[in-house]
Amino acid sequence: MKEIKITQKEENQRLDKFLFKYFNKAPKSFVYKMLRKKRIKLNGAKAQGNEIISDGDMLSMYLAEDTMDSFMEEKTVHKAERHFGIVYEDENILIVTKPAGLLTHPESAKDRDTLIDQILFYLNEKGFPKECAGVPPDYFSPKGQLWGNPLYTWKNHKSQGYKWWINRIKNCLKLADTIRIDHFRGFEKYYAIPINSKDATVGKWKKGPGIDFFNAVKKELGICPFIAEDLGIITEEVTALRLKAGLPGMKILQFAFDDSPNNSYLPHNYEKNCVVYTGTHDNDTSRGWYENATEFEKDYLRRYMNTDGNSPSWDLIRLAMSSSADTAVFPLQDILSLSSKGRMNTPGTDSGNWTWRFKSDDLKDEYCQSLKYLNKIFKRNI
């Protein structure tokens, strides 16, 4: 679910007019269909489209982020330069012509533009990728989604022992202990679209590197320091790959409280090897989410946790801590019990994001004591 808070710049206009501008690439029928099916709600309630929106109103959109993006902007493919020619190519062999002066392998860590580097992302003779990424047609996007970014030439990466990837992972580990892999499902299968296509209807699913990639990483590093972003609709094959690689998936508590006790985001349905979040950087704060949730969701949360709902942020922090998930993560905004004003990012918007900051005075000792108490109660380590 994505949420948009109406500001003074957008107020005093009809809801449907705002949505037409927001989804400027979508037919009007799509907007009305989503309103009718309650995929788009105004202040937690079904809307007709003729409502006049005001400053502070909250739109809740139960749409995939990729679907929203496809209706909001044109995807472009950028030209790049290729320095070699292809003489022959099949699934196992690539014969190229190398111009003088182009290194085959790097001689030092500073050498980035080598023949090997270019082959990993080789282009056609006009300097464009042969295929680009996207997703096939679905209920929300009849023509699919054409993202435009180039795809990895996995067979060439494999022939190099995934060195390019492993070097990037090593650099990331200088900054963090664990790396979240976005769109994890692409390692099992990815959707490839011919570069000259006008839409994504003619693409094909192609096999990703699969477990071979993760085995190579583990062989080189001794570990697979990843969290697999497996949110949304995930196939059995993708789940099987995640389990075979031994990677934890993600659980978001703000997604848990619909009308099904079988909801995989409810803690009683967790496997141990997962990471639970109260919410991520793309969600509202937990307090903001609760204040704008449907009455059903609020009631379900209160009954599920046997609480009065007066402190939803810490209710969800406690729920995350008490779960069987191996790791519990919560944004600082939730520790501070901030409203929607503390939200970090609203996907699909190009302003007002990543601006929230905290001050040292915000970090009270009482928060430390509360976290220490919960860690002790549920035998977790900070």
Residues that are catalytic? 182, 229, 282
Tokens of 128: 């464009």
**Residue 10 to residues 54, 57, 147, 249: CA-CA distances in angstroms?**
8, 10, 28, 37
The residue type of 204 is K
What DSSP character marks residue 285? P
CB count in 10 Å sphere of residue 313: 24
Report the alpha-carbon distance of residue 163 to residue 330 in Å, rounded.
Answer: 33
Q: Where are the beta strands (DSSP E) in the chain?
A: 2-5, 13-14, 40-42, 45-46, 52-53, 58-61, 85-89, 94-97, 131-135, 145-150, 179-181, 189-194, 204-207, 226-228, 249-252, 274-277, 327-329
CB count in 10 Å sphere of residue 373: 12
CA angle 74, 75, 81 (to 5 degrees): 135
Cβ distance 290 to 345 under 8 Å? no
In the chain, the N- to C-terminal Cα span, in Å, equals: 29
DSSP 122-177: ---TTSS-SEEEEE---SS-TT-EEEEEEPP-HHHHHHTTTHHHHHHHHHHTTT-S
Cβ distance 281 to 344 under 8 Å? yes
Closest CA to 159 of 216, 101, 76, 224: 216
